Amino acid sequence: MPTQSTPTEMHPQRWGDPAAATVLPDSALGLVELAFGLQDRPPVAGATPPPSALDEALLDDLRAVVGAEHVLTDDVTRTLRTRGKSTPDLLRARAGDLDDAPDAVVRPDGHDDVEAVLAWAVEHRVAVVPFGGGTSVTGGLAARRDGFAGLVSLDLVRMKRLLAVDEVSMTATLEPGLRGPEAEALLAEHGLTLGHYPQSFRHASIGGFAATRSSGQSSAGYGRFDAMVVGLTAATPTGTLRLGSAPANAAGPDLRQLLLGSEGAFGVITSVTVRVRRAPAVTSYEGWRWPSFDAGSDAMRTLAQAGLMPTVLRLSDESETAINLADPSSIGGAEDPGCLMVIGHEGTGEQVATRRAAVAVVLQGLGGTALGTDPGEKWADGRFDGPYLRDALLDHGVLVETLETATFWSNRQRLYADVKAALTASLGEGSLVLCHVSHVYETGCSLYFTVAARQGDDPIAQWQAAKAVASDAIIAAGATITHHHAIGTDHKPWFAREIGDVGVRVLRAVKAELDPAGILNPGVLIP
């Protein structure tokens, strides 16, 4: 199980805990120089956001709602609530571009406060951006402000309570501002766990998980976040939605699904009731080697379709395996590193032993080679550290970014080949395109790509061009534009193609009903 720690405020120009910022070790510097050349691209220091556009009289009304100390307009707070943590977000922050900074940060302390802030925003025509952990990678926090008197960040950081635990039904009701580790720590007091561990776990929030339909690294065992949600409450500008009166029902379309993935465009999720599990007594992570990405993927499919899902199940392609392993020869020789699969089992000692043995029989039968626990434990130890490396590479002029998609098993090979080819063609010779299968279902899987390339003069445009051709390839292959990163602003053109005109009209109609003034996250999600 991941270490529990209280999340700190993230660095405004980097990922994560400022104290954990890392530099490239000398050995890696040599490799980076060889592959991309070394450039010196340090972040610009001392930038400040534009002055707040909201006048004092208007802010006084807001102070009357939540208390003066919970309406912040200082530069530091506004800077910390600017955009999310995609590579373009980081590149803009590193260049000192704070144009998207909110005019004020407001911190409500409960559902009623949120409703009152929304009423204030409607009355004064102020745009509202719900802010959970600020880890969006799709522009979900970069709302439009044209046509509005200003824009406030609705920071849910004070809403951090465990509201209820039902150990008979195995559910818990959580407030949205709880970060991953905080939610797990509260549940651990009851011997329970949510089991939701995205790579952004240490900084992302419960409300954000619900609003983006997040999926964690242990999704094979615990399920994706939207599958854990059995109920939720949301404040909208036209009233409150309280949903989820039974574990399942046939009471019309499931309106919970309308709020899950709504990215703050329909309402503010003020609590979620989630299915919880007993905290595992035993965890076990191990590595398996496959001669090819196809062979490993087929093995994953076999496990999923046989009902033999471990808790963690992921598979790196040949390139990612070779890059990720300090010593590729340890799994088959530098010439032929094969593909690394990481498998994790969690549960009681008996459950882990039984499941582990059953999975091993199937994998051996399919040609997999057991590598023991070392590669699995190495992955588990570093499972949240990768994003710090992105900053260290950006410091040296290497463009690093990720994208993800999903499809059915029968289309996996085509999707993989087409997206890889599109990224490689756009980023040019010398770029690296790595991939892993990150989430597995009976019927299909998600593919998660990481790219690295030498930064050109305009790295944001460089990435946007690559992302556009990859997104075109995804839609042309009939796959989804996002398996778990959500739509935000970045994915909207491809989202519209994915759901078609009727789908777009349905979303617009819901938006018009719940948020007729359009104050909630303008420009986010709805094409």
Ligand X SMILES: Cc1cc2nc3c(=O)[nH]c(=O)nc-3n(C[C@H](O)[C@H](O)[C@H](O)COP(=O)(O)OP(=O)(O)OC[C@H]3O[C@@H](n4cnc5c(N)ncnc54)[C@H](O)[C@@H]3O)c2cc1C
Does residue number 235 form part of the binding site for ligand X (CB under 6 A)? no
| 448 annotated active-site | yes
Which residue, 198 or 337, has its beta carbon nearer to ligand X? 198
Rounded to a whole number of angstroms, the minimum distance from the CB of residue 199 to ligand X is: 4
Task: Select from 52, 205, 321, 405 the one that contacts ligand X (CB under 6 A).
Answer: 205
Which residue, 114 or 352, has its beta carbon nearer to ligand X? 114
Rounded to a whole number of angstroms, the minimum distance from the CB of residue 144 to ligand X is: 13
3-state secondary structure of 165: strand
Distance in angstroms (rounded) separating the CA atoms of residues 519 and 470? 32
Rounded to a whole number of angstroms, the minimum distance from the CB of residue 402 to ligand X is: 8
Rounded to a whole number of angstroms, the minimum distance from the CB of residue 129 to ligand X is: 5
- The contacts of residue 418 (CB under 8 Å, 6+ apart) are 473, 474, 476, 477
Q: What is the DSSP letter of 233?
A: E
Q: Enter the tokens of residue 353.
A: 């032993």
Distance in angstroms (rounded) separating the CA atoms of residues 216 and 196? 5
Length of the chain counted residue by residue: 527
Distance in angstroms (rounded) separating the CA atoms of residues 360 and 369? 9
Site for ligand X in 137-166 (CB under 6 A): 137, 140-141, 156
Distance in angstroms (rounded) separating the CA atoms of residues 47 and 51? 12
- Interface stretch with ligand X, choices 59-67, 163-171, 336-344, 480-488 (CB under 6 A): 480-488
Residue with tokens 């373009």: 88
Does residue number 207 form part of the binding site for ligand X (CB under 6 A)? yes
Does residue number 209 form part of the binding site for ligand X (CB under 6 A)? yes
Distance in angstroms (rounded) separating the CA atoms of residues 486 and 283? 30
Distance in angstroms (rounded) separating the CA atoms of residues 435 and 320? 6
Task: Select from 43, 133, 195, 221 the one that contacts ligand X (CB under 6 A).
Answer: 133
Task: Select from 7, 84, 244, 338 the one that contacts ligand X (CB under 6 A).
Answer: 84
Helix axes 412-427, 293-305, angle to 10 degrees: 140
Rounded to a whole number of angstroms, the minimum distance from the CB of residue 65 to ligand X is: 18
3-state secondary structure of 99: coil
Distance in angstroms (rounded) separating the CA atoms of residues 262 and 486? 9
Rounded to a whole number of angstroms, the minimum distance from the CB of residue 265 to ligand X is: 8
Task: Select from 73, 173, 199, 482 the one that contacts ligand X (CB under 6 A).
Answer: 199
Does residue number 444 form part of the binding site for ligand X (CB under 6 A)? no
Which CA distances in Å does 95 have to 333, 370, 460, 466? 42, 46, 11, 21
Which residue, 215 or 319, has its beta carbon nearer to ligand X? 215
Does residue number 208 form part of the binding site for ligand X (CB under 6 A)? yes
CB atoms within 10 A of CB 31: 12
Q: What string marks each residue from 247 to 276 as x (binds ligand X by CB under 6 A) or -?
A: ----------------xx---xx-------
3-state secondary structure of 378: helix
Does residue number 15 form part of the binding site for ligand X (CB under 6 A)? yes
Catalytic residue (one of 285, 388, 441, 448): 448
Task: Select from 124, 485, 491, 511 the one that contacts ligand X (CB under 6 A).
Answer: 485
| Nearest partner of 268 among 9, 514, 527, judged by Cα | 514
Are the C-beta atoms of residues 272 and 338 closer than 8 Å to each other? no
Which residue, 83 or 412, has its beta carbon nearer to ligand X? 83
Does residue number 233 form part of the binding site for ligand X (CB under 6 A)? no
Does residue number 338 form part of the binding site for ligand X (CB under 6 A)? no
Residue nearest to ligand X (CB): 208
Beta pairing, strands 239-243 & 268-275: unpaired
Widest pairwise Cα distance in the chain: 72
Catalytic positions are 448
Please report, as ranges, the residues that interact with ligand X according to CB under 6 A.
15, 84-85, 129-137, 140-141, 156, 176, 198-200, 204-205, 207-209, 211-212, 214-215, 263-264, 268-269, 387, 484-486, 521, 524
